[in-house]
Amino acid sequence: MSYLEFGAIPLQVNPDLQEERDQASFHVTELTHIIDGGAEKTQLRKRLEKLIYSDPDFRRFPDVRTFGTKSEFYGASVLKSIKLFQLRKEHQWTDEESDIVHSLVDHGHALGLHHAMFIPALERLATDEQKAKWLTIAKQYKILGTYAQTELGHGTYLQGLETTATYDPGTQEFILNTPTISAMKWWPGSLGKSSNYAIVLATLITRGKRHGMHPFVVQLRSLEDHQPLPGIKVGEIGAKMGTLSTDNGYLILNNIRILRENMLMKNAQVSPDGTFTASAPNQANYATMVLLRVRISEFAYTNISKAVTIGIRYSAVRRQSKLDPEEKEAKILEYQTQQYKLFPGLALAYAILFSTKLLKKKYREAQTEIMKGNLQSLPELHCETSGSKAFCTEHMLKEVEIIRQSCGGHGYLAASGIGMMTSSSAPLVTVEGENTVMYLQVARYLLKRFSNAKSGEQIEGCTSYLSMNHAPYLCPFLSEKDCRNLSSLCDVYRYRAFIVISRVVRTVQTDIKDGLPQHDAFNKNLVHLVRAARAHCYFNVVKDFAEAVKELDASIQICTVLISLCCFFAVHGIVENSGDFLQTQTIGVEQLKWLKNLQTSLLAEIRPNAVALVDAFDYHDITLTSALGSYDGNAYERLYQSTEKDSMNSQEVHSSYHTYLKPFIQEMNKAKL
């Protein structure tokens, strides 16, 4: 074969990858149906996939993302948003169908916040009259909105927001201002160049008194020529590590007057004379953020499942060195060290999948009550979504980077798809609440619930274990075989969480008793409080995964594989955090030795089904956007083909040669003479 033919991609699947599929112990389609939520959901996704990818624009977006400039990518992202809006309207997609489509074409698109936050905020925070005015035209795309909360100087500390909305009873208007440089809105997606409206979160001031954060509908740009309105300065915040499809923006407000009715008044009202009335706690305004944290957990699943699909498929076709001197070079997936890099991410993907399915169900049930005015479930929901967001994104980002490294030098190429996935995953640990802050909010809830349990209250929900009788505790691992028992593994995680929480509670209480102010006692123990929150979150994810596997209505082959994967997820977590488990006397040194042995044994058990487990995610090649992870496994041919799309290769001699290099070489040659 001549070098000119190297770029031709074979029509057949790489034999090494096909060999992996042939040895799977279960039917991939059955597991795909479980992941999607049933065969009907899989068929729905396939129909939507076919519709979307029949459009050449959607087929070319991945290339623009990989090889285009920031401006080109943003332009394509705007086009993608518009096409999605048009298709949603044309086909009358439900929210579920729209979510499926967005996951197919990458969650990042220029006007994504319109459906992700602007419309949900109107649905949750507006009165019926306001919905009739704003929600209708928003759903008809007559206005395009975003959600402006974060400021240059304040993010997760909402009480510190400096943007003000001062009521003027003489004109029955609110006057909005960002009075300092740190008060300007900074980071909201779709704000810089795309949106013409925003729901602005500002501190309400009426009759000289502050009433906390409230939402206001503010027009930013002209509906005629898209120019910013008088008194408004808005723009893009600049280059970022990733998420180039979104125009994260800044917003400066200078005496912007809006009608009284532009304050979303479902939970609080300001009358024409300026009287403030709260019909629900101010925390009710956080409902939109709670929803977004559920979605961020889902994004974490998407990113880790894509990354591990690429990593495992590539490892099945990449051969390097010899295990047996008499045989050909081995697939790198055969090496135990490679499995140890990849399989934690594989197990994490399934753990997040099942945990977020349960979380989304809880959210829907709670939201039904919240919309009726019953906020009883909101504190628990806030704890669970904050913890899930922090845990899922933290662990996802770690594993995605490990998977990128597992692909060697090729993983650094944009065409691999993983490098860009790493940079697009990074913001998730800070967006909508930096993870340390999220863990501390979980910790505050744990302290309160622990106190309730100690006073005799029967605790329910995700913290129900705090009211259980944990003494005397006996490690359930009496032999190495016991370490495989999912119930026993859950018990170990439960007890670890209980001990870590109880110890930090006693420490904080002792510090307060010794004379430290409560805020100082809390600050003195922040590291331990985060540790307690992490232990709680890890327990709940392990429990969710284990319970989901136990309740599966599936073939014995799939149940067997998922039990092994769940067991590996739990065992790997104990080994990685062994100091915590030993310190809390949840396990002993002998049990840790058993668990380490089991961990490596499980690598070998998972190995034959590794490719089938990622195939079950069923990502279309266009969705995956990876030369290394394509379904056919022809990684080298696709890498070489990708070079043809790079603008650097559009001409044999780059212009810099004539401008700089040629004169330099000529000068050097003259110098020799």
Q: Which residues are catalytic?
A: 432
Q: CA 473 from chain center: how many Å?
A: 36
Q: Distance between CA atoms of 277 and 211, rounded to whole angstroms?
A: 10
Q: Output the CA torsion sign for 446, 452, 456, 458.
A: negative
What interhelical angle do 70-91 and 56-67 show, nearest 10?
Answer: 160
Q: Distance between CA atoms of 423 and 243, rounded to whole angstroms?
A: 8
CA-nearest of 347, 389, 318 to 564 is: 347
Q: Distance between CA atoms of 32 and 38, rounded to whole angstroms?
A: 8
- Look at strands 197-206 and 232-236 and give their pairing: unpaired
Q: Distance between CA atoms of 513 and 517, rounded to whole angstroms?
A: 9
Which helix (H) or strand (E) segment holds residue 652: the answer is: none
Q: CA 18 from chain center: how many Å?
A: 32
Burial class (CB in 10 A: 0-12, 13-18, 19+), 452: middle
Output DSSP code: residue 227: P
* Torsional class of 121: left (φ above 0), alpha (ψ -120 to 50), beta (otherwise): alpha
3-state SS class at 205: strand
439 residue type, one letter: Y
Listed in order, strand segments (DSSP E) in 237-373 are: 249-253, 256-259, 268-270, 276-278
Output DSSP code: residue 658: I
Q: Is 408 annotated in some ligand binding site?
A: no
* Torsional class of 594: left (φ above 0), alpha (ψ -120 to 50), beta (otherwise): alpha
Cβ 198 vs Cβ 191: under 8 Å: yes
Q: Count the Cβ atoms, other than its own, within 10 Å of residue 20.
A: 26
Q: Is 127 annotated in some ligand binding site?
A: no
Q: Distance between CA atoms of 33 and 51, rounded to whole angstroms?
A: 20
What interhelical angle do 287-317 and 378-406 show, nearest 10?
Answer: 20
30-38: list long-range contacts, CB under 8 Å, 24+ apart.
30/554, 30/555, 30/558, 31/554, 31/558, 31/612, 31/613, 31/616, 32/616, 32/617, 32/618, 34/552, 34/554, 34/558, 35/353, 35/616, 35/617, 35/618, 36/618, 37/357
Tokens found for residue 554? 């599936």
Tokens found for residue 362? 């809880």
Which helix (H) or strand (E) segment holds residue 246: the answer is: none
3-state SS class at 361: helix
Q: Distance between CA atoms of 38 and 528, rounded to whole angstroms?
A: 42
3-state SS class at 617: coil
- Tell me the binding residues for FAD: 150, 189
- Tell me the binding residues: 150, 189
